[in-house]
Structure 1
Amino acid sequence: MTTLGPREKFHHPYTPYDIQLQFMSSLYDCIEAGKVGIFESPTGTGKSLSLICGALTWLRDHKRKEFLKSIDGLAADDDEPDWMVEYAKKERTQALTQKWRELEERLARLRKEEERRRKLAQNPHRPIKKQACLKPVYSAVIDFFELDEYESDTETGKSVSITGFSDIKGLSASTVALLDRFKGRVTSQKENENDNENQTRIYYCSRTHSQLSQFAQELRRVNLPSSLPSPEKNVEGEKQEHADLEEVIKHLTLGSRKQLCINTRVSTLGNATAINERCMELQQSGVAADKKCSYLPSKESEDVLLDFRDRILSTVQDIEDISQVGRQLAICPYYAARKVIDQCEIITLPYPLLLQRSSREALELSLRDHVVIIDEAHNLMDAISNIHSVSVTLEQLRTSLFQLTTYARKFQTRLKGKNRVYVTQVIRLVSALAENVQLLSQKHKSSEAIVQYSDLVSGKGVDQINPYKLTRYLQESKLARKVDGYVEHTNNQDGKVNSGKTTREKTTTPVLFQVQSFILTLMNPSDEGQLFLNKADGGVLLRYMLLDPTNHFRDIVDEARAVILAGGTMSPMSDYADHLFSYVSPEKLDTFSFGHVIPPKNLTARILAKGVLGSDFNFTFDQRNSDSMITDLGQTIANLCAVIPDGVVAFFPSYDYLNQVINTWRKPDKSGKGGSIFSEIEKYKPIVYESNNQKKESNTDDILLEYSKKVESGSGALLLSVVGGRLSEGINFSDKLGRGVLIVGLPFPNIHSTVWKAKIGRIEKQTYAKLTQNETELSMSRRREAETAAKAAGRDFFENSCMRAVNQCIGRAIRHRNDYAAIVLIDRRYETQRIQGKLPAWIRQSLVSSATSSIRGDLTSFFKTHQ
């Protein structure tokens, strides 16, 4: 038997490095064992291809095993002769193989047709057919905005109809849920009769669609063997039946309506919430047929849906390609994509679509027994918290109260039964929130304060409102949609229409939707989060912030076969085990930190604890404002710029501190004998810097362009940036753009801020409770011991946040195997073992604490070896 080589084993398109083989092998084993795995592999080590080859090789192997298992599962009864069993196996094999072959042949024909279309599109003399443009249409029928009659299931014992059962009245919610689960099992059994459905898939998630598009490009490089057993192992006479047929990787990328909507009267609204709501409006039963969305799939468009599915599966396509296919076939790609899911091997999607249960349900995604891979996962916990946090301003509360009151007056004779009760309750609640927020903002003198749930919902009889029933009403009644639609209609009727466009363009989230999102959070108070009041720029902001992401990610872990977190800088990793996967047993959680592909001689990492003028570099919040230390920092950076060629990027703890440093450097020398520190540095390299005024990405692009031009001109350049700023993540400073990376200080968050006090306080509370959970009585010494450990856990969490940001900045430089750079950590705190232990392994192995007098010579020697 021929043994596969490393490249052949994982079907890597190139000859993989040793660390890539280790990565792919560990990934394969982790998925096979059904574990949670945390993988750190530095940028430039081919992480994306390693993820693709390792995971998809496992998937094809798994599908092959399942194929054989389904054949071998045709076990004979004791009375059946062997020849009948063999015949049944042959028939089953032929049927499955024929089905597989028909699909692959169909996809192969579509690829040829797509290639023909591409060549035709490149012909400049081809006739161009104009696309029909739908103009925005707005409803003018008042009845359209009336609420449908509403009754709560739990209050009235409404009939529940379940497929396969007769109508049953008066069931409790738990009984309905139980029947739903049973119905799901019955449905699942039927679906399993179709062998292409419910097969194991890989869900690959990253932060942005641009990153998913890059992943799709890498996916196109990979060719994998068929998931069918090799022909020589098949039934006699079928050896060559599929040997010559390629099995393409079946991929789908999912997006929101904002990315995929092809209806111009909806997509031009711009804002995601407005697009979602307008899409839902056009599907309501009360909308005239000529005003409904013509792209929605229907029973009549089944053939078009199948064509859409096959065209998506025939080649690896990104989100723009899928949108284009939808336009060509005149069918909504957002809804049509659901037809593709069951046939897919790998589905790519951005963070929000995976991390929110509501989004997964809207897309009809099940993670049950599938593999979930989350790339760029270094900020996963923050992403989960941000997705499940919501804020509302006092002005928004007042505006929504006005809109609700106006609506209630207009429809007061039509609001009946439960609608009248619940609309009144919503008005009372919003009114109470607005008044209490105003009072709390006057009570708290500081700009930021923690507020309690009870303080927000006091007065106006709000405590008599059943939060669970009101939550259900808001979710099911479409109140926010009706009110917003009526407000927009009223604005149009009042003459605020100009050339078919309203003056209140829906490019921002409608106010009542924002308020409703906040109310839904408020109605389910949890110790996982905290309410904060912020006063800034004359306004008042009320914010619910999720502090503990554990339970919001746990349902993904519980459902999936395996969960993989991957990133270039996942260190320090203890936070994931302690705060995200605390419920996962140690034997089910694996962590991997792989080295870099560069040879050791291509990296030098130095700690600089003293400046050239003798200052101790200790950039703590209390000491970093010293003019003498800032001056020494400038002289030291000038010395480093003198010996580091090409581009140097320096990262500072904050925009405020960077501005302070620049202002100090610009001051003329007090002795009057020389110029400023700024001009001293520019003797070696011109300075480019970002500021917090530059809010637009275009300004960031301008800074990068200016920096790149100076480096390419041969003069080199020094780029002053901020840890956690726009240039600290996702920017490629490869080769000449990043021969040196300087980290000034440690960018600790503001520990005195209300938010960080709450975060650390929660960690301490959880740790203390965990340490003492099985102890009924605590001695004084045991209590102090637990309190000390809790304090240490809070400090560790705080430091980890800082060091994860540092590691992101360090990762901007070395981007490929032949790259080389110097990393200089400017602060004596980097000399402590605890801080060094939070750096990636590939940095630690090159880390040296340098004397100020020798670092210039050391760096000169390092760069001479690479000339």
Structure 2
Amino acid sequence: MELQAKDFHHPYSPYDIQLQFMRALYTCLEEGKVAVFESPTVTGKSLSIICGSLTWLRDHKRTVFQETVRHITCDDGEPEWMLEHAKRESIRAISEKKKKLEARLAEARLEEDKQKNALESLGGPRKRQKFNMSSRASDAQNEDTFALDDYDSESDEKSSSRNQKGHFTGFSSGTLELLERFNHKFSTRPGEDKDDGDEDIKIFYCTRTHSQLTQFASELRRVNVASSIPEGFGEALADANRLEEGIKHLSLGSRKSLCINPRVFSLENATAINERCLDLQRPGVPAQQKCPFLPSDENERQLAQFRDRTLATVKDIEDMGKLGKNIGICPYYASRSVIKHSEIVTLPYPLLLQRSAREALDLSIRGHVIVIDEAHNLMDAISSIHSVTITLSQLQAGIFQLTMYTRKFKARLKGKNMNYIAQVIRLVTSISDYLRAIIEKNQAPEGPVQPSDLMSGKGVDQINPYKLCRYLNQSKLARKVDGYVEYSKEQADRQADRKPSTPVLFHIQSFLLPLMNLSVEGQLFYQKTRGDIQLKYMLLDPMNQFREIVDDARAVILAGGTMSPMTDYKNYLFSYVPSSRLDTFSYGHVTPPENLTAQVLGKGIIGTDLDFAFDTRDSERMIIDLGRTIAALCQVIPDGVIAFFPSYDYLSRVLSIWKRPIADEKDQAVYDLIERKKPILHESRDMTMSIEALLQDYASNISLGRGALLLSVVGGKLSEGINFSDRLGRGVLIVGLPFPNIRSAIWQAKIQYVEEKAYRESLGSEASRQLIAKAAGKDFYENCCMRAVNQCIGRAIRHRHDYAAIVLMDKRYDRPAIQGKLPGWIKHSMASSSAQRPAGANIGSLSKFFAGRRARQI
């Protein structure tokens, strides 16, 4: 298909790079590619994704429609007019179905408008369904509620194998039965709405936070795309061709985001909410205790109303919660009936990246399009989602609670329940004893842990990990114990105004499950903390966890403002993807090149080499020269300047040296020298003021004409997601290269894993394979550092007419290998040989840059 003149239905006149983005995206979706797109924030990336993908989707639907009609045939010997009649009838049926759906959605929009107008005219909220349920989660409960059912491991093993369909889901049999009941009960609607849903390809758009999804929904409301009914199919489609077909969008969220039951959402903790929700649905719960908002046979009309109202207009996650409250139906469960009617489904990372979460939502991605935005941290997010940390204090609390529960229900715990509970206590005690021994032996602050060390306690070697794992899932032990503990606390003090505690045993279970089924890509570590010690299971390689998504989806698109360096995606996330299916794209800025300058400062203002490597960065002479150089930069860079340091600890050391009086400077401190140019503000690990207050103080100083210097940390609170546009960010200074601590146990394990993997996959002599492995580890380490740098750089230049200076303050930035990992738009603006020039010359060129910008504005 010729895309040069393609109308992508962009609400504005797109820039050339936006057209390039949309054309490339369209082609990747058409060809079923896996692709990585880098497009700076100011380039309208979200609208490019929306317009490119939805235009392809509607085109694809029209193609499928045409192919369906063309393949309609009649039996041999039947006249041609019968074939034409059959085609016309098929076209008419499809167009009538579309018109009927759009008419229903138009009615839903009209109803929404009426309600909105009523609210405005009355000057207050309309009377809604009363939510007068008690918020105390233990209402009408008694101790019997928390007793374990008899456990038959053999029968559960058979049902487990039937329900899990060849893989471990992480759900108990009761939960699986509940999900199955929902899938059958609400997957189709009776009567006239039965066939409204379709199995057409959908777009699943995923990003990190609900605020980013809300912003995406706002952009989606700006777009109108052509109908999926093709033109040129005769009179039968005359009306359909004029059909305004709105975008069918659904925003999915977790129970914590969507629950409308006060007895559940008041728990606040996500795990507690999930477990209490399932508790209220289990068989045997009295009718008065069940959740009244759950979809059922009695509220099918409300469910259909929820579906139509959801699809009528583009709604974000907050709108979904409000809609559920307005109608009186649970938006978390009701959303499932909307999935198959949708064209684009938005959801946060955890709901897409975890198989168990997808199964809980009955969400199939097979054959559909996956778009992951803000994907620069995707690999870290996958690792984090599949990692789990537990503390010694939590383990000790779990042992106490299990023991208390066993004593309370001892008379009612039959043989297998008692046997498995004893195994859990032995295993948790063994782990707890090992961590306590680390503290008592005064071992290093952190280090690797072997699974065998955790299971060295008495009798632990006799535990069958697979049977115990199955028991924990099937018996609901953690839910029962945590529920009983919470119930007991409330009974002890019914009047206490206390938030429910975090379910400890359920958290311990989430650690034990991966411990008993360790992945070769994961490893265990301990880390001492203040007064406690952590045990962490960490996923070192996200590839296999993401591979099932790539294998199932038609196309996978990763997009972000700063995806460079991209080699990690090819080497560690998509190494199994054929090169013919994998593409990468990097686009420049919409701002003209003269609006940006980038420089490497290899020397300070008094000639000290700026080299913030771990072994040299504590040099007081260099830190003092750094301060004087920053003072000189603040003299020529107007308004706001943000300086990013490698860590909170290093920033704290720099500030302490800057504040000391310097003898040869008449006892003047470097800090005072900088403050004469611009007021200094800084973030810290333990800030007394909020980030919002800090930013407000920073903006106020700039608006008053004083300018300001904001000292921040790479990977800190201000390094990502903050918009320093215009006067807020005329200069971005990166002090040093923020390499992770290579001496830490976790990073040693990561590098070792990368090197061993590269060694296994390489060919040649032993010496060459060793060199390849070492190079792979070094490249991986540098990439992690430069992704963090690139995120900080992206805080400036936020729109077409913005301008700023980027100053990289470390001579190592002059290395080709490091500069090669910068985004293309930075490399193109890099001043040649700036690292070799004296600092004064570079500062002079910055002065000319800003003088030129001021002259243009005049």
TM-score range, shorter chain: over 0.9
Cα deviations by residue, 1:743-773 (Å, 9 ceiling, x for unpaired): 111010110011100000100110111115x
Distance 2:457 2:813 in 1: 53
- Counterpart amino acid of 1:243? N
Relative to structure 1, is the Cα distance of residues 646 and 526 closer, same or farther in structure 2, using a 3 angstrom cutoff?
Answer: same
- Taking the TM superposition and a 5 Å limit, the aligned residue runs for 1:594-633 are 594-633=587-626
Instruction: Report the counterpart of residue 473 of structure 1 in structure 2.
Output: 471
Distance 2:237 2:467 in 1: 63
Contact 2:230–2:241 at 8 Å: present in 1 too? Answer: no
Contact 1:449–1:534 at 8 Å: present in 2 too? Answer: yes
Unaligned runs of 5+ in 1: 163-170, 776-781
- Counterpart amino acid of 1:340? V
Any idea what SS the aligned residue of 2:283 has? coil
Q: Residue 665 in 1 paired to residue 652 in 2? A: no
Instruction: Report the counterpart of residue 802 of structure 1 in structure 2.
Output: 785
- Taking the TM superposition and a 5 Å limit, the aligned residue runs for 1:67-466 are 67-125=65-123, 128-129=126-127, 131-135=130-134, 136-138=136-138, 139-153=140-154, 194=195, 196-230=197-231, 233-235=232-234, 237-443=235-441, 445-466=443-464
Contact 2:229–2:241 at 8 Å: present in 1 too? Answer: no
Contact 2:41–2:798 at 8 Å: present in 1 too? Answer: yes
Q: Residue 760 in 1 paired to residue 751 in 2? A: yes
Contact 1:394–1:541 at 8 Å: present in 2 too? Answer: yes
Relative to structure 1, is the Cα distance of residues 656 and 454 closer, same or farther in structure 2, using a 3 angstrom cutoff?
Answer: same
Distance 1:60 1:835 in 2: 43
Instruction: Report the counterpart of residue 631 of structure 2 in structure 1.
Output: 638
Any idea what SS the aligned residue of 2:717 has? coil
- Counterpart amino acid of 2:131? A
Instruction: Report the counterpart of residue 855 of structure 1 in structure 2.
Output: 842
Contact 1:741–1:810 at 8 Å: present in 2 too? Answer: yes
Task: Give me the identity figure in percent.
Answer: 56
Any idea what SS the aligned residue of 2:230 has? coil
Give 1:149 shift: 2.6
Cα deviations by residue, 1:504-524 (Å, 9 ceiling, x for unpaired): x32x53110110000011110
Give 1:418 shift: 3.1
Cα deviations by residue, 1:230-264 (Å, 9 ceiling, x for unpaired): 2xx123x3343123331110101111111101111
Contact 1:154–1:172 at 8 Å: present in 2 too? Answer: no
Distance 1:746 1:286 in 2: 60
Any idea what SS the aligned residue of 2:664 has? coil
Give 1:151 shift: 2.4
Any idea what SS the aligned residue of 1:276 has? helix
Distance 1:625 1:461 in 2: 51
Instruction: Report the counterpart of residue 493 of structure 2 in structure 1.
Output: 496
Any idea what SS the aligned residue of 1:373 has? strand
Relative to structure 1, is the Cα distance of residues 159 and 646 closer, same or farther in structure 2, using a 3 angstrom cutoff?
Answer: closer
Cα deviations by residue, 1:312-341 (Å, 9 ceiling, x for unpaired): 000000011110110011100000000110
Give 1:488 shift: 1.9
- Taking the TM superposition and a 5 Å limit, the aligned residue runs for 1:3-42 are 6=5, 9-42=7-40
Give 1:271 shift: 0.8
Instruction: Report the counterpart of residue 165 of structure 1 in structure 2.
Output: none
Give 1:191 shift: 8.4
Cα deviations by residue, 1:658-717 (Å, 9 ceiling, x for unpaired): 11111111111212525211111122111111111128xx71111111001111111111
Give 1:5 shift: 7.7
Any idea what SS the aligned residue of 1:601 has? helix
Give 1:133 shift: 2.7
Distance 1:104 1:159 in 2: 43
Relative to structure 1, is the Cα distance of residues 704 and 93 closer, same or farther in structure 2, using a 3 angstrom cutoff?
Answer: same
Instruction: Report the counterpart of residue 66 of structure 1 in structure 2.
Output: 64
Contact 1:266–1:278 at 8 Å: present in 2 too? Answer: yes
Larger mean CA deviation between 192-201 and 838-847 belongs to: 192-201
- Counterpart amino acid of 1:744? V
Give 2:542's match in structure 1, choosing from 541, 545, 549.
549
- Counterpart amino acid of 2:405? Y
Any idea what SS the aligned residue of 2:206 has? strand
Give 1:228 shift: 0.6
Relative to structure 1, is the Cα distance of residues 477 and 81 closer, same or farther in structure 2, using a 3 angstrom cutoff?
Answer: farther
- Counterpart amino acid of 1:857? G
- Counterpart amino acid of 1:729? E
Any idea what SS the aligned residue of 1:732 has? coil
Contact 2:131–2:262 at 8 Å: present in 1 too? Answer: no
Distance 1:172 1:666 in 2: 65
Distance 2:562 2:466 in 1: 42
Distance 1:565 1:5 in 2: 23
Relative to structure 1, is the Cα distance of residues 4 and 423 closer, same or farther in structure 2, using a 3 angstrom cutoff?
Answer: closer
Distance 1:311 1:344 in 2: 12
Tell me the C-alpha RMSD between the 2 structures.
2.5
Unaligned runs of 5+ in 2: 170-175
Give 2:518's match in structure 1, choosing from 505, 518, 525.
525
Distance 1:284 1:35 in 2: 43
Contact 2:38–2:585 at 8 Å: present in 1 too? Answer: yes
Relative to structure 1, is the Cα distance of residues 155 and 708 closer, same or farther in structure 2, using a 3 angstrom cutoff?
Answer: closer
Contact 1:255–1:349 at 8 Å: present in 2 too? Answer: yes
Larger mean CA deviation between 854-863 and 53-62 belongs to: 854-863
Contact 1:763–1:793 at 8 Å: present in 2 too? Answer: yes
Q: Residue 535 in 1 paired to residue 531 in 2? A: no
Q: Residue 515 in 1 paired to residue 498 in 2? A: no
Cα deviations by residue, 1:55-99 (Å, 9 ceiling, x for unpaired): 110100111111112222222333433222221111111111101
Q: Residue 747 in 1 paired to residue 747 in 2? A: no
Distance 2:592 2:50 in 1: 25
Give 1:443 shift: 4.2
Contact 1:144–1:286 at 8 Å: present in 2 too? Answer: no
Give 1:126 shift: 5.9
Instruction: Report the counterpart of residue 865 of structure 1 in structure 2.
Output: 852
Distance 1:353 1:155 in 2: 27
- Counterpart amino acid of 1:287? V
Distance 1:310 1:392 in 2: 44
Any idea what SS the aligned residue of 2:721 has? coil
Instruction: Report the counterpart of residue 714 of structure 2 in structure 1.
Output: 723
Any idea what SS the aligned residue of 2:585 has? strand
Contact 2:3–2:23 at 8 Å: present in 1 too? Answer: no
**Count of aligned pairs:** 831
Give 2:699's match in structure 1, choosing from 702, 708, 712.
708
Distance 1:815 1:156 in 2: 57
Relative to structure 1, is the Cα distance of residues 430 and 648 closer, same or farther in structure 2, using a 3 angstrom cutoff?
Answer: same
Larger mean CA deviation between 459-468 and 748-757 belongs to: 459-468
Distance 2:157 2:679 in 1: 74
- Counterpart amino acid of 2:811? R
Give 1:441 shift: 3.7
Contact 1:272–1:509 at 8 Å: present in 2 too? Answer: no
Give 1:421 shift: 2.8
Give 1:140 shift: 3.4
Give 1:841's match in structure 2, choosing from 782, 805, 824.
824
Give 1:632 shift: 0.7
Give 1:730 shift: 0.3
Relative to structure 1, is the Cα distance of residues 805 and 156 closer, same or farther in structure 2, using a 3 angstrom cutoff?
Answer: closer
Give 1:152 shift: 3.3
Cα deviations by residue, 1:255-286 (Å, 9 ceiling, x for unpaired): 11111011111111111111111111111223
- Counterpart amino acid of 2:448? I
Give 1:4 shift: 8.9
Distance 1:173 1:320 in 2: 37
Contact 2:105–2:309 at 8 Å: present in 1 too? Answer: yes
Contact 2:101–2:196 at 8 Å: present in 1 too? Answer: no
Any idea what SS the aligned residue of 1:498 has? coil
Instruction: Report the counterpart of residue 675 of structure 1 in structure 2.
Output: 668
TM-score (norm 2): 0.93
